[in-house]
Amino acid sequence: MLKTFPPAVRAILIANVVMYGIQIFFPSDSLTYLELWPLASDLFRPYQLITYAFLHATPRAGHFFSDVNSLHLVMNMFALWMFGRGLEAVWGPRRFLLYYFASVLGAALTQLTVTALAGNGYPTIGASGGVFGVLLAFGLTFPRQKVIVLIAPYPIPAWLFVTLYGIAELFMGVFSLQSGVAHFAHLGGMLGGALVIVYWHATGQIRMR
């Protein structure tokens, strides 16, 4: 089945699943250094700006194979598959990977800024920043594509879905709702992706619909 997935989406999905398996079956304190720690922490390392996006469980939790961790991974990978396939078909795998990791980096830098301002000492993990960047690109590339939302009675255009989702993330971040979720990192993923799209569009490398 994975052979039917475009190569970049497939590679990201497999890497995340493999890393989750390592966290479950081969837990190690060294995995702590792959998480994104705040700048003020002695555990921060520059490479964490990328590696955090391949983790969906934390060694300190003690329960690697939990419903929360599994759902985190499944939801991120499902969204990547759902929205990433169309983008990769239009952009190609190389451009898609560049965009995805720009979103991951944008999410990481945003999260580091927020944690520094808030004095937060907790690490960040998960591919959500990259996925939110993909979501933004999908809405801009296929604005009229209908998206099925569970809480809505009928499909809505992708541009509206992305807009409402972004507003919801901003609202939850500002008012500190849904504790344990890095809402500003999600927005940072969108911001990182948006900057790349603006550059590509300005230089004529892509055309938006």
Written as one letter, the residue type at 120 is N
Residue 39 has what pLDDT? 94
Cβ pair 51, 105 in contact under 8 A: no
CB 133 within 8 A of CB 192: yes
Fold of 2-202: Rhomboid-like fold (1.20.1540)
Pick the catalytic residue from 128, 176, 179, 183: 128
Could you list the mean pLDDT of each consecutive 10-residue stretch along the chain, which spans 209 residues? 79 94 84 93 96 82 57 88 93 96 96 89 90 94 83 78 82 62 87 95 79
Annotated active-site residue 186? The verdict is yes
Give residue 113's identity as a one-letter amino acid code: T
What integer pLDDT is reported at residue 2 of this predicted model? 54
Q: What is the pLDDT of residue 177?
A: 56
The catalytically annotated residue of 56, 72, 183, 186 is: 186
The one-letter amino acid code at 137 reads A
Per 3-state DSSP, what percentage of the chain is helix, strand, and coil (rounded to 5)?
Answer: 65, 5, 30
**Distance of alpha carbon 62 from alpha carbon 105, whole angstroms:** 28
Q: How far apart are CA 76 and CA 126, in angstroms?
A: 8
36 phi and psi angles, rounded to 5 deg:
-90, 105
Active site annotation includes 70: no
- Does the reported pTM lie above 0.85? yes
Residue type, 86: G
Q: Tell me which DSSP letter residue 124 carries.
A: B
